[in-house]
Amino acid sequence: MDTSNHCNMSVLFEQLGLSGDIVQINRFLKEHRLFENQRIEQADYWTPSQAAFLQQAIAEDSDWAEIVDHLDAALRH
* pLDDT one-digit tens code per residue, 22-52: 999 999 999 999 999 999 999 999 999 999 9
pTM: 0.86
Angstrom distance (rounded) from CA 51 to CA 43: 8
User: What are the residue ranges spanned by the domains of the chain?
Assistant: 9-74
Q: Which of 22, 34, 67 is nearest to 54 (CA)?
A: 67
Question: 9-74, which class in CATH?
Answer: mainly alpha
Angstrom distance (rounded) from CA 56 to CA 48: 12
Angstrom distance (rounded) from CA 32 to CA 59: 23
Confidence of residue 6 (pLDDT cuts 50, 70, 90): very low
Q: For 51-70, write each residue's pLDDT tens digit.
A: 999 999 999 988 999 999 99
61: alpha, beta or left, given left = phi > 0 and alpha = psi -120 to 50? left
Residue type, position 13, single letter? F
